[in-house]
Amino acid sequence: MGGTDTSAATLAVEVEGLEWYHTLELAPDVITPGWLDTRKIAHQVPLPASLSGKRCLDVATFNGFWAFEMERRGAAEVVGIDVLDPARWDWPAGSDPETIATLAARQAGGRGFEIASRALGSAVERLERSVYDLDPDDIGTFDVVYLGSLLVHLRDPVGALECVRSVCSGTLVVVDGVDPLLSLLFRRLPVATLDGIGRPWWWYGNPANLVQIVRAAGFDVVEPPRRLYIPPGPGQQTVPLRPGLLRTRGGQMAFMVSWKGDPHASVVARPRALAAPVLGKQAPPSDDFRARPA
């Protein structure tokens, strides 16, 4: 076996030894069996096609798909942050230690990112930081910030986005989970349900709710939210429609993910130049969805 074959075989063994969140093509015949396949919707996410010369941040990078994608689009520098120890995630009180251990095994201390980064020859710098700890004095500011599938896992999504705002000097792209039923029933009214029992799943709302959270954190939303569905990857078993499946909320969601993908919405925003407080009140947020800056 030649040297290249040996390293491809070694890589394949490393890939097999882990659970993957992202589906990544690491070599011609080595594709990670991700839970989701974000490759299929990358073109629908409103990230600029060229990030040439930009300093970019990927918040909650996990296996690194979006950080590598920004690097692929020509970013001058990409930093990814993540909380590698799941015990430090926003767990609701009284969460089951077994559930924490299961998710810890899935996170594997961030090993998936390291394998992928090495295989891709990436220069993305991953830092172990919580979104709540983002501080411009620590890591500087970024022209483009991507934040994907994190807000639903946070107890305080507005507080987290305020921290993102402190390091965002240009464009914020948020893609987060939405509730399909609320999205259908309430087009304009921001509405969300609270989970928060036993696992770090907190708020599931409609796209209007996502817009409102982003605005509440001091951003102007610069284009209407878009719906998108992230398809399951080869690491997720899809659920066939069978009698009784649609009776529970969990069953409806599992079927929806198998059939169409995990329902998400994207929002593009820019930090608002906050007006000086007048009589203790700030100017109301703008409703103006301007064209997205190039």
Ligand X SMILES: C[S@@+](CC[C@H](N)C(=O)[O-])C[C@H]1O[C@@H](n2cnc3c(N)ncnc32)[C@H](O)[C@@H]1O
Residue 131 touching ligand X (CB under 6 A): yes
Show the tokens assigned to 101: 């251990």
Residue 236 touching ligand X (CB under 6 A): no
Are β-strands 20-22 and 34-36 bridged in parallel, bridged antiparallel, or unpaired? parallel
- What does the radius of gyration of the chain's CA atoms come to, in whole angstroms? 19
Residue 68 touching ligand X (CB under 6 A): no
Q: How far is the CB of 276 from ligand X (least distance, A)?
A: 31
The piece of 2-10, 47-55, 148-156, 234-242 that touches ligand X (CB under 6 A) is: 148-156
The smaller minimum CB distance to ligand X, of residues 130 and 169, is found at 130
Q: How far is the CB of 146 from ligand X (least distance, A)?
A: 8
Closest residue to ligand X, based on beta-carbon distance? 148
Residue 168 touching ligand X (CB under 6 A): no
Residue 60 touching ligand X (CB under 6 A): yes
Residue 142 touching ligand X (CB under 6 A): no
Q: How far is the CB of 150 from ligand X (least distance, A)?
A: 5
Q: What is the spatial distance between Cα 81 and Cα 24, in angstroms, rounded to a whole number?
A: 18
Q: What is the spatial distance between Cα 1 and Cα 19, in angstroms, rounded to a whole number?
A: 28
Cβ(194)–Cβ(202) below 8 Å: yes
Q: What is the spatial distance between Cα 96 and Cα 91, in angstroms, rounded to a whole number?
A: 10
The piece of 9-17, 55-63, 120-128, 281-289 that touches ligand X (CB under 6 A) is: 55-63
Q: What is the spatial distance between Cα 42 and Cα 273, in angstroms, rounded to a whole number?
A: 30
Which amino acid is present at 179?
D
The piece of 11-19, 127-135, 183-191, 241-249 that touches ligand X (CB under 6 A) is: 127-135
In the list 23, 32, 38, 266, the residue contacting ligand X (rule: CB under 6 A) is 38
The smaller minimum CB distance to ligand X, of residues 8 and 265, is found at 265
Can you give the length of the chain in residues? 294
The piece of 6-14, 62-70, 93-101, 232-240 that touches ligand X (CB under 6 A) is: 62-70
Show the tokens assigned to 152: 């639903």
The piece of 10-18, 60-68, 245-253, 276-284 that touches ligand X (CB under 6 A) is: 60-68
Q: What is the spatial distance between Cα 263 and Cα 204, in angstroms, rounded to a whole number?
A: 11
Roughly how many angstroms between the first and final C-alpha of the chain, as a whole number?
Answer: 49
Show the tokens assigned to 233: 């990857």
According to DSSP H, which parts of 140-246 are helical?
A: 157-167, 180-185, 207-216
In the list 23, 149, 171, 258, the residue contacting ligand X (rule: CB under 6 A) is 149
Residue 82 touching ligand X (CB under 6 A): yes
Maximum pairwise Cα distance, the chain? 75
Residues that bind ligand X (CB under 6 A): 21, 38, 59-60, 62, 65-66, 81-83, 89, 107, 130-132, 148-150, 153
